[in-house]
Chains A and B, each alone.
Chain A
Amino acid sequence: MEQPEYIQQRLRELFDSQNLAVLATHNIGQPYASLVAFVATEDLRHIYFVTPKTTRKFANLSKDHRVAILVNSSTNQAEDFHRAISVTAVGNAEEITGAQRNQILKQYLAKHPHLEDFVKSPTCALVRLTPRSYYMVKNFQTVMELHINP
């Protein structure tokens, strides 16, 4: 059961089913958590989100690329404790500009069409997170790690 393919499939299902993720950045050692609308690539190598450039999260990740992001399927019910899956990704974040930006935004808007006006603003940054590792929690306390070789 605990094979890489199985875990990758669970990750894809989770990322498809969820719109929002919690992003963790820091400012000189002070952790800061914020909510972002994200999309993950099929091969799980990248996670994209958008943010106004005026935000704390953007300032923080511009200063230090190291971030973590958490996606989970909880529904605020007692059942969450055994049913929900939670995934933390740890890696580096960077802003994407130029032609690549438009190309990726198409994928992004396919999942979040209502954000079209938002992303088209010149003050909105597209950020790419490249995870090194995923940490998947299920059945309340079972934790598996998935490490990505560069």
Chain B
Amino acid sequence: MRWIIPASKVEPQDQRRIGGKGYALASLFKGGFTIPETLCIPSDLYGEYVIRTGLRERILLELHRKDFKEMRWEEIWDCATRIRNMFLRMPIPAEIDTSLKAEIEFRFSGKSTAVRSSAPEEDTAYSSFAGLHESYLNVRGTDAILEHIRKVWASLWSDAALLYRQELGLDVEKSSMAVVIQEIVVGDRSGVAFSENPANPSQGVIESVYGLNQGLVDGAVEPDRWILDRRRQTIVSHTPTTRKYWMVPDEIGIKLEALPVTKSNQPPLDPKDVLEVFQLVCRAEDFFNAPQDLEWTYKEKTLFVLQSRPITTVAIDESGDKRSWYLSLHRSFENLKSLRQKIEEELIPAMIVEADNLAAIDEATLSDLDLVEEVKRRWEINHKWVNIYWEEFIPFAHGVRLFGQVYNDVLHPEDPYEFIDLLAHTDMASLERNRKLEELAGFIRNDQSLAHLLKNREYKSIPQEFIRKIEGFIDKYGDLTCSVTGGTHCDQEAEPLFNILLEMAAHPIIAMHDRKSVHNDELKQKFLNCFEGDRKIEAAEMLDLARTSYQLRDDDNIYLGRIESYLLAAIREARRRAENPKTRQSSGSQTRALVDVLSELDHRSKSLNPYEKKQGQTFQIKPRQLIGQPAGPGIARGKARVIQQHSDLSDFKHGEVLICDAVDPNMTFVVPLATAVVERRGGMLIHGAIIAREYGLPCVTGIPDATSLIQTGDEITVDGYLGIVTVGSADV
């Protein structure tokens, strides 16, 4: 078995083994095109590796924890992260390793290489999904190349690939991955060329940037663009760009740099070069007998082909298909940095102003017709911010994931979520609220008579000073009865808040989990020590960005929730008036206007529990062990408190296990009372998991039937290490 094949030695029967990309390169070489030095690692080696190391079974287990149809994108991402970490931590067995090393050393000693995926189906069935698997640039040294081969293999199971698993026919038992190792030709000008313009078959297109091609392919560097006439082989038009950056190699990897002024004044290609590139792509079209999409680079005067593949125009973004949107959440560091600036400097201040403006209008004082207009206006405002939330805030949450990947790449930790320890203990608004709650509980704990008054509901006798504190809390955080984050208008009664405070006061002070603050500093140093020079600064920036991203994951809901609460307040006022027209002086047409606007807004009022309960008759089912994702380490036992609707929260008792559909920040005030958290919605980075980790509570997420199978009062054991929830005792 040949585990490594130079491009010059590839035979037609190797096509499947070395994948589309590798085979196309070998064909180009044989066809007389100039390509960089290239080695192919056939897919058999992937198979050999996953079988010998036992990874194949581990991937099988990982992928079968849960029915794919029930997995959210976040869970798919988590799944891909765990699989990737398995590859990062599992070396290639010594006997294979030795035979690869000699050949790689011989070809690429002292050279910079690209390590690219070449899935067997790639560029044919895979052609519509280009970019689902990883490629790495500027990899130097035999050990680093071997490590990157494993990373490319891992990308067979990337979140992108898992999302398109059906179209790709992704199957643990059958799928495999070939790899291409290629010398990096450090071109001074690079680009892509289409022998046929997808938008106009009589034309061709060339795009070009200074530096490495990756800048263009990633979208980080804006290219100059030429349209050509295919038949006449002439330039039709040139669209220049403001040339600001170029991608250049550095010690490890590549980096984006400001383009020297001498270059930014002129296009990367002169007309003679443009025609030479176009002739090259046309020659490739003739050679492969199909229009080609070709990546090229100029090193001095030599024009190299980096890769060539048939042009595909298959649109994968069908209506209602959110997958391409999920993939768009993968943002570059640069992109996230500018997004952060926008969120911190523009969007959040604007949301606060918006909420303050809404607060200035008291819906109760409006006439019926003005109220109708106000409901519509608030609906529009809320709608606008919900859209911004999806377009700007949710993508920004990717900062945490980007950091996690970098952390895992350099440290290969045993726990792929170790990095979250570095992000915790940020000043999240929900934690600040919980501290305030604890403060209020403290007054009750230290004042027997106050506790007595609250218990007996003698609210009129409560000292004014305490009432003012409660009002201050409600003004800022809401009365906790509102199913909208930060809502302040949901219920005039403070009773549910008193229930929670009494429960907190009856038990010892709940400290924030003070685990690992020393450990965190060590982790931070361990992480930063993996980098040197500019890279170290960038790594620190990335950590800082991830912390902001982690914190905003919670806080944005609080800001958005304030805006939504004003909409709800207006709706409630309109509903009240529409339902009691006779008690007020109101004309029939005004009442109808109120009714119309209410029915127009199909506003959410659905129960938190989407599952219908069915009582078995002859046969009764009970859960014993339910499997989810281990999202917070630890083990704890307690009585279940199943939250079917928001009002159930005020009955929460100290020591219970919180079982719910989806935790959002406005529910997490009960977490300090809880002994563990179980959530239907899956993921390691969801609110429930984040807050549970802050309090050091065991947490399991992603149990599809949690709120319907588990009943309040059930004895529950939550194993946050294995992700197992056990119901009841061991008796049979």
User: Which A residues have a C-beta under 8 Å from some C-beta of B?
Assistant: 1-4, 7-8, 44, 68, 78-79, 81-83, 90, 133, 135, 137, 139-149
Contacts and interface: CB of A to CB of B under 8 A. Distances in A.
A3 B620 CA distance: 9
B61 interface: yes
A8 B616 CA distance: 12
Contact of A1 (B65, B618, B619, B705): B705
Contact of B625 (A3, A68, A143): A143
Contact of B623 (A2, A79, A137): A2
Given A44-B619, A79-B57, A139-B66, 6 more contacts: A143-B623, A143-B625, A144-B623, A146-B620, A147-B619, A148-B619
A147 B623 contact: no
Q: Considering residues A7, A81, A82, A90, which has the most beta carbons from chain B within 10 angstroms of its beta carbon?
A: A82
Interface string B642-686: 000000000000000000000000000000000000000000000
B732 interface: yes
B705 A142 contact: no
Contacts of B622: 144-147
Q: How large is the interface on B (under 10, 10 to 19, 20 to 34, 35 or more residues)?
A: 20 to 34
A8 B619 contact: yes
Nearest to A137: B625
Given A78-B56, A82-B61, A149-B618, A142 B732 contact: no
A144 B727 CA distance: 10
Interface string B598-626: 00000000000000001011111111111
Q: Is chain A's interface secondary structure helix, strand, loop, or mixed overall?
A: mixed
B234 to A, nearest CB: 60
B60 A82 contact: yes
Contacts of B394: none
B61 A140 contact: yes
Contacts of A141: 625, 627, 722, 724
A143 B618 CA distance: 20
Nearest to B615: A4
Contacts of A144: 621-624
Give the 8 A-B CB pairs with smallest separation, nearest first: A82-B64, A143-B625, A143-B624, A78-B57, A4-B616, A145-B622, A4-B619, A147-B620
Nearest to B728: A145
B71 to A, nearest CB: 13
Nearest to A132: B732
Contact of A3 (B56, B614, B722): B614
B627 A2 contact: no
Q: Is chain B's interface secondary structure helix, strand, loop, or mixed overall?
A: mixed
B620 A149 contact: yes
Nearest to B54: A78
Contacts of B56: 78
B621 A2 contact: yes
Nearest to B626: A142
Contacts of A137: 625
B168 to A, nearest CB: 20
Contact of A81 (B60, B624, B709): B60
29 contacts: A2-B621, A2-B705, A2-B709, A3-B614, A3-B621, A4-B614, A4-B616, A4-B621, A7-B621, A68-B732, A78-B56, A78-B57, A82-B63, A82-B64, A83-B64, A90-B732, A139-B65, A139-B66, A139-B627, A141-B627, A141-B724, A144-B621, A144-B624, A145-B621, A146-B622, A147-B620, A147-B622, A149-B617, A149-B620
A65 to B, nearest CB: 14
Interface of B: 56-57, 60-61, 63-67, 614, 616-627, 704-705, 708-709, 722, 724, 732
Q: Considering residues B63, B66, B622, which has the most beta carbons from chain A within 10 angstroms of its beta carbon?
A: B622
Contacts, number: 78
Nearest to B704: A1
Nearest to A88: B732
Given A1-B704, A78-B56, A78-B60, A145 B618 contact: no
B174 to A, nearest CB: 13
Q: Considering residues A1, A3, A68, A143, which has the most beta carbons from chain B within 10 angstroms of its beta carbon?
A: A143
A84 to B, nearest CB: 11
A135 B731 CA distance: 12
B521 to A, nearest CB: 36
B64 to A, nearest CB: 3
Contacts of A44: 619
A81 B708 CA distance: 26
Contacts of B625: 137, 141-143
Nearest to B60: A82
B618 A79 contact: no
Contact of B732 (A78, A82, A83, A133): A133
Nearest to B66: A139
A90 B61 CA distance: 28
B388 to A, nearest CB: 36
Contacts of B620: 4, 146-147, 149
A143 B443 CA distance: 46
Nearest to A78: B57
Contacts of B614: 3-4
Given A2-B709, A4-B616, A139-B65, A79 B621 contact: no
Given A2-B705, A133-B732, A145 B64 contact: no
Nearest to B732: A90
B627 A146 contact: no
A3 B625 CA distance: 15
B732 A140 contact: no
A8 to B, nearest CB: 6
A83 B56 CA distance: 14
Nearest to B726: A143
Nearest to A77: B57
A7 B60 CA distance: 23
Contacts of A133: 732
Nearest to B719: A141
Nearest to B173: A79
A132 to B, nearest CB: 8
A147 B620 CA distance: 5
A44 B618 CA distance: 11
Nearest to B611: A2
A7 B616 CA distance: 12
A142 B725 CA distance: 9
B115 to A, nearest CB: 29
B619 A146 contact: yes
A78 B173 CA distance: 11
A139 B62 CA distance: 10
Given A148-B619, A149-B618, A135 B624 contact: yes
Contacts of B66: 139
Contacts of B57: 78-79, 81
B621 A140 contact: no
Contacts of B619: 4, 7-8, 44, 146-149
